[in-house]
Amino acid sequence: MNKKELIDQIRIKKSFLCIGLDTDISKIPKFLLEFEDPVFEFNKRIIDSTKDLCVAYKPNIAFYEAMGAKGWESLKKTVDYIPKDIFTIADAKRGDIGNTSKKYAQTFFSTYNFDSITVAPYMGIDSLMPFLNFKNKWTIVLGLTSNEGSNSFQNLALKNGKKLYQEVIKVSSEWGNSENMMYVVGATKANDLKQIRKTLPKHFFLIPGIGAQGGDLKEVITNGINQDIGLLINSSRGIIYAGDQENFDLKSREEALKIQQEMSKYL
């Protein structure tokens, strides 16, 4: 999916919601365990109930690879089931170099046919170029994250007066462009988001941390929006685990609808 197609979907649906499919078999409704593939059945019902309210789905790869071959099978079925007009994100946070990086790119862009993948940039250009070399695919770079340990490195002050994450964002942005690169900025970093938007006026940002992690939706939108919206705001647990009974998918829809309706005010 290219940038224009993504923007068109945002305007058609009046939404820039991304739903994280962080599907944990120990947390899904128990009745689903009777199905041959409980994880896929859960994902399928979430997708069916929310596909008109979101523009992206983001499977967290760790939840699938932890299940071995069965998990990878569930992931493939899930990605194939997602409608083609919805943006797909492999939340894999890969960050190696050379042939290893090329194989990661091949895995998620060819074998699984994701539109995008999250990538760690701290090994430099070598870790991003194999992904950027794929046409009509997106590399989503970890820019500034919300986790408690992010201060260990990301906010270190450099001799040029910048913080480390600011230098990483500035330098890495020169390796691609706003048509094939996005950046992850945590929702709890809303104040920093305003400055990052000045540095990257045209790029899309993937914003995790809304809902269960405490990010404020209005604050994020105010600080991060651009003329193309330029945001994919993710909610995972707050939507997919909204219910734990047989009507869990309807509960998920209710939560997704609340966010979509708030987003529609900006479109």
- Give catalytic residues, as residue numbers: 93
d(CA 253, CA 49): 6
d(CA 30, CA 120): 35
Q: Are strands 138-144 and 181-185 parallel, antiparallel or unpaired?
A: parallel
d(CA 176, CA 161): 25
d(CA 123, CA 98): 11
Q: Which residues pair with 17 in a beta bridge?
A: 233
d(CA 95, CA 141): 10
Nearest to 74 by CA among 60, 85, 86, 89: 60
Q: And the tokens for 84?
A: 């083609």
Give the dihedral sign, CA 129/131/137/142: negative
- Cβ–Cβ contacts within 10 Å for residue 239, how many? 29
> Are residues 144 and 186 in contact, defined by beta-carbon separation less than 8 angstroms?
yes
d(CA 249, CA 267): 26
> Are residues 193 and 223 in contact, defined by beta-carbon separation less than 8 angstroms?
yes
Q: And the tokens for 197?
A: 């938007």
